[in-house]
Structure 1
Amino acid sequence: MRINQFISHNTSHSRREADELIKQGLVKINAKIAQFSDRVKQEDRVFIKDKRIHKKTQFSVIVYHKQKGELVSHKDDRGRKTIYENLPKKFSSWLSIGRLDFASEGLILLTDSALIASALMKSDLEREYYLKIKGHINKEVVEAMENGLEIKNEKKGAHSKSKISSMMIAPFLEYEIFGSSGGYTKLRVVINEGQNRELRRFFGHFDLKIMDLKRVAFGIVELDMLRAGKYRYLEKTEYEKLRDFLRINAIKF
């Protein structure tokens, strides 16, 4: 593990803050001043300002019900509200596991462990969403949901500043169309990827605009009756299943 990762994983410092501490010569690995390229081995001892950093043996995860009009970010140069402004200050250094865009709502996981955040973000755990779309789902859209979609040189549904113009979208694991009314269609979809604005880009390809997007589940964790703007810690059974996931995927904590 790189030295800045080790620090962010085992302390309240972010990687950027860890880099600044290393730059100032305040970090040591054993008796040697740490360099940016250093990696921490199992037997190494790490110090910040001569105070030893002990490896975490536990981690915590919370479920937050993100509201529309909140950013999953620590700050915004346009002054928009972030989830951290609504959460208690004790969570200010916690990491979000994936994101939901400004106009979306629903389940967000946050953790005090960089390792857990990285493992879950890169996983193929199922993500379940409820959508309201302007337009109708035709045969072409259904075939793409079932077989996958390749987007080339196109930014429909993407953020205006996105540089990504091509994307491979895997087949949906599940989908359920509830019906259409007043020019809108409601449906439920389950995917196991977390690409940036993936669903908005998928439906945007067919000139279908997502009006409402709500994530209701991530892996074994469900939003259930958690009210918008509120949070809860994982329950004991959820932690047990998360540890099973880590063990099965050979992720050592």
Structure 2
Amino acid sequence: MRLNQYIAANTNYSRRAADELIKEGKVRIGNSVVTELGTQYKEGSSVYINGRKITQKNGFTAIVYHKPKGQIVSHSDERGREVIFDSLPNGFKHFCFVGRLDYASSGLLILTDSPKVAHALEKSDLEREYYVKVKGQVGEVVFEAMRNGLKAADATKGAHAKTKIKSMEFAPFLAFKVVSQSGPYTRLRVIIKEGQNRELRRFFGYFDLPVMDLKRVAFGSLSLDTLKEGKWRYFSASEYSALKDFLNPKKDAQKTQTKDKK
């Protein structure tokens, strides 16, 4: 984890403000003053700002946000485009987002004040459910690739124009269903367990099926339900409980064993 992320997660400073403190020489790790941006924080290290030690938070806060199309999943944008934090309260400015949804996609986005939690969720194989609208008819060759996975030497169709990732390996879809086929378009419901860079746009692009609409409706046990675009909500008590069980699988297993003995 970067030092600025650690500071943002455990204080009221944003990551940008943390960078300014670092550049001004106001941050030290142990007895060493840090001035280099991008410095990594090592677990267990003591961090000080203006001589005052940062107390690491034990708990964390997490929210679900319904991202609309036309927003960038970022804290800022050099081109002045709207970012997700323009729609969120100032108290969430330092939150980390779990993965990304591209500019033209919408749907469920998780944000948390814990970089550790964000990283664990982003790298997990929890189910991601999407509704996808593609231009074209989806045939058996595509269904076969959904069932068995795909290694694409050139997976740049559907990718960002400046992407440096050319080839990509797609894991088998966990589930998929054609919702409707009307005119030149096919609508599908798909469930995958990864969150690679523009994964679905690249997958369908490989078969010359451009994605016209993409919406994430669920992530693990979380669902958008009736949450409207541009709105957010805190995790419910049961969602916090499920997330903590996910983060501490050994502890959850011990609970199960204790119940079985009774």
Give the TM-score normalised by the residue count of structure 2: 0.87
- Secondary structure (helix, strand or coil) at the match of 1:179 reads strand
AA aligned opposite 1:64: Y
Distance across 2 between alignment mates of 1:92 and 1:108: 15
Distance across 2 between alignment mates of 1:75 and 1:40: 26
- Secondary structure (helix, strand or coil) at the match of 2:239 reads helix
Check the 8 A contact 2:180/2:186 in 1, yes or no.
Answer: yes
The runs of 5 or more residues in structure 2 that have no matched partner are 252-262
AA aligned opposite 1:88: P
- Secondary structure (helix, strand or coil) at the match of 1:142 reads helix
Change (3 A) 1:38 1:221: closer
Q: Percent identity?
A: 54
Higher mean displacement: 96-105 or 67-76: 67-76
State the Cα deviation string for residues 184-223 of structure 1 (Å, max 9, x = none).
Answer: 1111000011101100000000000111111000111111
Change (3 A) 1:80 1:20: closer
The residue number in structure 2 matching 1:95 is: 96
Distance across 2 between alignment mates of 1:82 and 1:38: 26
AA aligned opposite 2:78: D
How do 1:99-248 and structure 2 match up within 5 A?
99-248=100-249
- Secondary structure (helix, strand or coil) at the match of 2:129 reads strand
Give 1:74 deviation, angstroms.
1.8
Give 1:24 deviation, angstroms.
3.6
The residue number in structure 2 matching 1:55 is: 56
Higher mean displacement: 29-38 or 171-180: 29-38
Check the 8 A contact 2:98/2:110 in 1, yes or no.
Answer: yes
Change (3 A) 1:104 1:32: closer
Check the 8 A contact 1:13/1:93 in 2, yes or no.
Answer: yes
- Root mean square deviation of aligned Cα: 2.2
Distance across 2 between alignment mates of 1:169 and 1:3: 33
Give 1:179 deviation, angstroms.
2.6
AA aligned opposite 2:69: K
Check the 8 A contact 2:8/2:94 in 1, yes or no.
Answer: no
Distance across 2 between alignment mates of 1:91 and 1:218: 20
Give the TM-score normalised by the residue count of structure 1: 0.90
The residue number in structure 1 matching 2:9 is: 9
Change (3 A) 1:188 1:55: same
Distance across 2 between alignment mates of 1:140 and 1:173: 17
The runs of 5 or more residues in structure 1 that have no matched partner are none
